[in-house]
Structure 1
Amino acid sequence: MLMRLADERATGAFLRDQGVLYLAEGHVVHAESPSAPGLDVLLTVGGTLPAQGWQDALTRAGARHEVGRDLVGSGRVAAGELELCHLGALFDAAFFVLGPASGPTHFRYGVTHWFGQVRPVPAAAVEREARRRRALLDSVWPCPDVDTAPVVPRPPAPGQTVTGRQHAVLRLADGIRTPTAIAWALGRPTFHTLVEIRRMAAAGLVETPQAPDPAPALPLSPLPASLDCAEPDIALLRRLRDALEAHL
């Protein structure tokens, strides 16, 4: 449907359960998703724009659909910074909007976004990037459950290094925040946070969510004390399995 709308050079809102893509003459000009921090968060929390500066621009230019132009014209945000943040927010939200579990699709012709256009992106490029990102996540750590579960940190092994970006994530990994909540708190795109968390899951720095063990059909006799053993390191076992499979 998105490709058909692009061929039609349609203008309007492409709506799914996980968010909205805004099209102008068949190009994607804006995207929003509850799973991805918006441009306001990227600029104010992750960038240099004061929150009041964002609100002032919204008040002055929101009704004219020229918030982006106002931010640049007032000198609060450089044109290059705005473009980079806008593209980051667009591709981040589109990743979730175009996900396989995003539900039915609707399109409302003629709808435009209050922010205004910054750099239109071909719909085919947006769809292609969403597929590339899904493949990248699976190549890093093929366990999608870690994307939505609260993150539980584990202490690094002796000599194991942790990057600055990973330190920032781990500081917020309290067993309550999900990767999306951590991304909002850091003012970073959610996809980038998912990549870091999957890398840390592969390295054993965070716990990977496990399905509950099924109840046994029959009661089991207790093991003798001499056979008691510690819980296996599931993350380590999975890394060993993946390494073995990669060399088969």
Structure 2
Amino acid sequence: MRALLVVGLLLASSAWAAETTPGKGIYTCTTSDGRKLTSDRPIAECTSREQRVLNPDGSQRTTLPPYLSPEERAVKEAADRRAAAERVAAQDAIRRDRTLMQRYPTEAAHQRARNTALDDANKATRISERRIKDLGVERKPLLDEAEFYKGKPLPGKLKQALDANDAAVEAQEVLVENQKAEIVRINARFDAELARLKKLWAGAAPGSMPPLSELPKTTPPTTPKR
């Protein structure tokens, strides 16, 4: 009798362990016509509907999503990719705003950075403008010499020197125009940053604002006609 009791307890224990083994569960769903179905495996009648997976004690373990056709799966995967890209973009926006605030904790720090960027562009402009003046000085004796050949072809060496002077002046003029465009771009960038920083300093959450719009690219100036 005692042996039978031990065997019975062992059998009951084995049955309980089998029922609670990971992967086993009770599947339940409601069909489109309102019938509630239950099974120990996924229910074929509910492939297009959500199925609840229950533990043996009746608590919910997980949810089995509806079966998707290849077309539906492709749409869902595309939507999932878009959602993931949006999450990454949101995280990037937060990181950029935090980096911006760390770099420029005050308006004075931001203004110093603007002045430094503008100083480089202004220096390059002044160098080109000085070079244009020097080229003008170098051109004067060439023009004086050319006066002797009015109405006649210029000697090859003189013509070559005048053409080289013209090309050098035009190149410097293009550099000046490029630097002027760069100054406009620098100011536009710092203006946009400052507007954003003022909101962040006032308490706006990083990443809560639309991204800084892309600044239009400066169109390179054409070579000036002389």
Q: Which TM bucket (shorter chain)?
A: under 0.3
TM-score w.r.t. the length of structure 2 is: 0.21
Provide TM-score, normalisation by structure 1: 0.19
Q: Greater relative contact order (Cα 8 A, min sep 6): structure 1 or 2? A: 1
Rg comparison, structure with higher value:
2
Higher helix share: 2
